[in-house]
Structure 1
């Protein structure tokens, strides 16, 4: 009974840590959006715009994650979602600073609207990843967001600076997404008999996905460095 309690606690802790990690890795650009959208506001309105915009963005994310959790119960959607996450992991390592253009507003309502709309457009990868990692538990999603969002808002510059200075952190984040994608695919009940043909599938498939993503990212970035600048 005690061992079961420890296992349950570890599963819960692992899910929370993965969700927080995903939020931190995928939330850097969203933090930049918040800063850019509110930069032209008077000082006394900037904090209001950040708090209101972020609060609404969190509510929308929780709602979207709830919808995603429901969709993941549809046959083969977990397989599709897992493959999408794998693509997102590769994209994280191969994108070329393609930041979304954000129009700054001089009014509080305008800034809040910009924050919410831009966050909604950019948060698909985040929502899908945390829905997959939550084991269909909305409470875990809310908790993960509650813990990580304040860190993203107030520490976004530090997070982005560290990620730029130490690219290995980006690789670690991509590996985390690849791991989550493998776990999601393994939950596809209609392919359970097929996965059982793989020895130690819950270890092998995540390892293969992580290695594949890191090798693709490393290969792409090394080739890009070899190309002469135009």
Structure 2
């Protein structure tokens, strides 16, 4: 069952995915904190931890559902035109529309963070929460909205890894569990770190653009798409891992340089 961990690619995918899940979960932590802050002080920690636990369960269930659809590889409809050939399967549809969603989500989030105030956050701040159960309901709804891009990111990062379909699912579930546990332990420090370095969140959203594009090309490749006689190939995930690692290295060096400049 865990033979996948004998592969170096699996460990790289797990570490990268866990990091992205944490960074992409920052907005989730912020909204959960806003909801919990409206409760009496003795209930706030309980609401935060319970909300994140429910978030973990919810994401695992979503992973199981999405992974089942991604596993349906056989085409149920074939398009054969003079310039286009494609076999449409549920796997291809999930990856294609998931890629489009990530492109839309990431670009809109970047636009909002650069040009507009957080309207959803302001709306939530204005809502009164009278009980722990009401707070949990709001947290679960909020997490469901934020889970979609997280799940699609996980699928994009692990699709095709391992010899068996369940190999990728195991990696995704482990990454989600680790990221949620880390957020439960270090929710406030993580939020403060991102507040001090907002470029990290923009960097993660930029990674989503790469992953979204990769999902679309992967869908075309798995559908055996031929456009004007040209077959669309798969993008090796090593390129994605290298781009993410290189970008993070540059960002950490930039952060270190800023600290030195401030000290001087």
TM-score by shorter chain over 0.5: yes
Look up the match of 1:202: 236
Residue 128 of structure 1: CA displacement? 1.9
CA RMSD for the aligned pairs? Answer: 3.4
> Quick one: which of 204, 211, 214 aligns to 1:173?
204
Look up the match of 2:93: 76
In structure 2, C-alpha distance between the alignment counterparts of 1:179 and 1:10, rounded to whole Å: 22
> Quick one: which of 170, 175, 178 aligns to 1:144?
175
Q: Is 1:94 matched up with 2:111?
A: yes
In structure 1, C-alpha distance between the alignment counterparts of 2:175 and 2:97, rounded to whole Å: 24
Contact 2:29/2:191, CA 8 A, preserved across alignment:
no
Contact 1:81/1:184, CA 8 A, preserved across alignment:
yes
In structure 2, C-alpha distance between the alignment counterparts of 1:22 and 1:116, rounded to whole Å: 21
Look up the match of 1:111: 135
Residue 87 of structure 1: CA displacement? 2.2
Look up the match of 1:213: none
Look up the match of 2:147: 123
SS in 1 for 2:65: helix
Q: Is 1:162 matched up with 2:193?
A: yes
Structure 1 gap segments, 5+ residues each: 211-230
> Quick one: which of 43, 58, 61 aligns to 1:60?
58
Q: Please tell me whether Structure 1 or Structure 2 has the larger radius of gyration of its CA atoms.
A: 2
Q: How many residues align?
A: 205
Ranges of 4+ aligned residues in structure 1 off by more than 6 Å? none
1:8 to 1:110, Cα distance in 2 relative to 1, 3 A:
same
Contact 1:92/1:170, CA 8 A, preserved across alignment:
no
Residue 37 of structure 1: CA displacement? 1.6
Structure 2 gap segments, 5+ residues each: 73-89, 160-164, 245-264
